[in-house]
Amino acid sequence: MAVDFRFIIIGSGMMGAAAARHLSSMADGIALIGPREPDQRMTHHGVFASHYDEARITRTFDGNLAWGTFAARALDRYGEIEARSGISFYSEVGCLFAGPTPTDEQDYINRALAVSRSLGSNIETIAPSELPQRFPYLAVAPDFSGYFERKRAGHINPRALVRAQIKLAEQGGVSLIEATATSVHDAGSHVEVTAGGRSYSAERVLVAAGGFSNFHALLPRPVDTRVMARTVAFYEIGEREMAVFGDMPSTIVLGDREEDHIYILPPVRYPDGKTYLKLGGDTEALSFERLEDAGAWFRSDGNAAERDHLSRVALQLMPELAGCRVTSAPCVANFTLTGYPYAGFTQSPRFAVLTGGNFVAAKSSDELGRLGAVLLAEGRLGDQDFGGELTPVFAAIQDDTASFAGLKRHAAS
């Protein structure tokens, strides 16, 4: 039978929009299905996306070669995307890691330095005695060293990046369908997608719905992921604080455990006209298995106890924030069993999936989207794209929650 589209991508967030842009240069007959950001978060009942924000850290410094490579490839295309779309989203203010001087070759910092050398990234090591002078906004332990990536690092505006990707995808011939996909059915010779009360057919489908990939009947079998609650804290910044923090880079402060790492975004102006410094961590254990529970979380202000914890940490690291108004917001992190994104086919050769940001993927989303496009167009990913590492793991009938203990990666964006 004739199909409406050759390829349908479900999910118009950071990965899905990027996949649509890249695929538009490889093939014709593409649709991108996903809803708009809701006008009123607190009254919206439906799916959300974690890119509804103004700032995420971007950098290549990473202790894992695959993740570092994904980030470097994406960063190297930011300028082209901005120029072609006319939408600015990247601020190259640099990224500072601060932590104890590593004592073991397998420590995160030493692994990240080795990966950086292989990627051609320029990382400056800053001695503990020099760190307070170079970055006076930050108060850390006297034995902490700094690792500063000045180029190919800083922060991106995820909302603006998604707008740029969708604009270029549409210019490339992609049909944007602003609706929520609620089911996908393999009809044997083709795939049928229901979205917004209508049915669309395609030869192949890529499900790139982030933390909501398992919440509708989008996959023939759920992927093995954990959708975890995350709370972010915002400090409202005035002129006094801007004199202290206005020139700071994106910052990640390492803790004794990976879940104790803290990430800090420099002051950024938000849609309400105010300027906020944002920080977050990776300590919360609440997870979601139902759409209703995830939706209720997104309609909240996050976890008050986590907000208070982040506030205490913020004042320890940045005492000049004392007296600033503090608010909080919800987010989710979608963790995979492998610690890598999932990019591969399901049990059906017509269904592919791209998901699993593991709390570090915003900066790499353009490259991950490219991998999703290659997967649809060519049917597989090669070793140069870490195809083996990205093989999806699908949930067993009896899900083993304990299997996820200790698999969360460091907080980064």
How high is the pLDDT of residue 101? Answer: 86
Please, are residues 282 and 261 in contact by the beta-carbon 8 Å criterion? yes
Which pLDDT band, with edges at 50, 70 and 90, does 412 fall under? very low
Cα gap 278→267, rounded to integer Å: 7
Q: How far apart are alpha carbons 22 and 168 in whole angstroms? A: 9
pLDDT of residue 50: 86
What is the C-alpha to C-alpha distance for residues 15 and 343, in angstroms, rounded to an integer?
A: 11
pLDDT in tens, 330-353: 999 999 999 999 999 999 999 999
DSSP code, position 374: H
Alpha carbon 201 to its chain's center: 29
d(CA 4, CA 14): 24
Does the structure show a pLDDT above 90 at 403?
no
Q: In the numeric block, which tokens belong to residue 320?
A: 């000049």
Residue 407 has pLDDT above 50, yes or no: no
Residue for token pair 């093939």: 27
Gap between the Cα atoms of 236 and 274, Å rounded: 7
pLDDT tier at 1, thresholds 50, 70, 90: low
pLDDT grade for 103, boundaries at 50, 70 and 90: confident
The SS3 of residue 255 is: coil
pLDDT digits (tens, 9 = 90+) for 54-87: 999 999 999 999 999 999 999 999 999 999 999 9
> 411 versus 25: which is more confidently predicted?
25
CA diameter of the chain: 71
Task: Give the number of other CB atoms < 10 A from CB of residue 292.
Answer: 10
Residues 147 and 123 sit within 8 Å (Cβ to Cβ): yes
pLDDT tens per residue across span 244-292: 999 999 999 998 777 779 999 999 999 999 999 999 998 899 999 999 9
Write out the H or E segment, with its range, that includes residue 210: none
